[in-house]
Amino acid sequence: MTIPCRSNAARFVSFLALPLLFALAGCKPEAPTATSAASAASAPAGLVVPEKQQAEKLNAYVVAYNKLLQWHSFGKILRDYQRANPKVAKPGAPLDSYRFDAGDVDDALRALDKAMAMTQPLPALDEPGKALKAALEAVNPLIKEAGTYTSTKEYLSDKGIKARQMNAPLVAALDAADKAAVAFGNALSAQTLKRDEAELAALKPGTVGFHKLKVSLETRKLAAAVRLALEDKQNVPAIDAALQAVSAANTELGTLRKDPNAPPAWDPVCAMYKEKIDSLIGGTRTLVGAMNGGSGKAVADAANQWFDMRNKAVDAANSCSG
């Protein structure tokens, strides 16, 4: 893959954007918890979760989105499908192979339904949530149909007739699901960021919880800076300030020692979180070097490694209760 200019970089980011939401493309969000009453009382203007019921609904949306992100990046599914089946787009060419690799979204839809059934309104999420639900309901039967067609190898008997009938609706539905998932993920990321900034303000500096959350927030800002740099090389210099903030916060986290009265997670799981962030810092410097002077392939490889490191850091964070 070559990424010599903004347009190609934007295409590259299109399948990575999902992880970088709480992360960007293909990344797992850190599992949030309900905001405490103290956090809500100190919440900055614009926070949309001042009440317990709203916090619970926000968490339910996070659960639903995690279920979706775990198995589905619709942009990548679409690209893989088109790459694996080039003959589908050629009328009359008999098919001797057909592959569609994606499971259904039943679990994600059930979790989304559960969140939307909660009556407390969250306007910033309810509207993109409805759009996402509609897109998932449209793509789900097509995913199942294409999966069955792959498993039964019906293309060997019908020469690809059904594959071509399915193709246009499937491509359109996958593209719509990708756009809806990205829009919902952006809205969800904004809301969890506000909530967690309010929670940080209510926590005591010097505690594991405070410094772990501080690292998390700074890492999310770094992720946003990386995304913008991949979209446009002119944004690469902005990564440095975000990286310095992550490094400073992670150094603070590394100076903490386990409180005898604290849960045992800090030793060694929370220490592992600190180490994963160290690796992410190194991966960021590698990525910046590639974007400043490397080939398109070097950028793509470094970006994929960066997102893998980010996912591992999120896993470690979710295991570190503080």
Among 179, 202, 225, the domain-final residue is 202
Among 176, 202, 228, the domain-final residue is 202
Do 102 and 226 reside in the same domain of the chain? no
Count of helices and strands (H, E) across the chain: 12, 0
Structural domain range at position 302: 1-28+205-322
Do 15 and 83 reside in the same domain of the chain? no
Structural contact between residues 25 and 73, judged by C-beta atoms closer than 8 angstroms: yes
Separation between Cα atoms, residue 169 and residue 181, nearest integer Å: 18
Do 178 and 92 reside in the same domain of the chain? yes
pLDDT for 261 equals 63
pLDDT for 25 equals 31
Do 83 and 220 reside in the same domain of the chain? no
Question: Which residues, including other chains, have CB under 8 Å from residue 189's CB and lie 6 or more apart?
Answer: 21, 22, 29, 220
Do 66 and 171 reside in the same domain of the chain? yes
The DSSP code sequence of 31-98 is ---PPPHHHHHTPPTT-S--SHHHHHHHHHHHHHHHHHHHH--HHHHHHHHHHH-GGGGSTTPPPS--
**Of residues 23, 135, 161, 146, the one with CA closest to residue 74:** 135
Do 227 and 196 reside in the same domain of the chain? no
Question: Which residues, including other chains, have CB under 8 Å from residue 298's CB and lie 6 or more apart?
Answer: 290
Could you give the number of structural domains in the chain?
2
Do 56 and 173 reside in the same domain of the chain? yes
Among 202, 223, 250, the domain-final residue is 202
Do 69 and 186 reside in the same domain of the chain? yes
pLDDT for 241 equals 95
pLDDT for 227 equals 85
Do 303 and 234 reside in the same domain of the chain? yes
The DSSP code sequence of 262-284 is S-GGGTTHHHHHHHHHHHHHHHH
Do 179 and 237 reside in the same domain of the chain? no
pLDDT for 273 equals 86
Do 173 and 218 reside in the same domain of the chain? no
Query: Across the 322 residues of the chain, what is the mean pLDDT of every consecutive 10-residue run?
Result: 30 29 36 36 42 78 84 86 91 88 93 92 92 97 96 93 95 96 90 86 87 91 89 91 95 76 58 90 95 88 88 78 58
Do 184 and 301 reside in the same domain of the chain? no
pLDDT for 259 equals 59
Cα dist from 149 to 98, 99, 267, whole Å: 8, 9, 50
Separation between Cα atoms, residue 255 and residue 317, nearest integer Å: 17
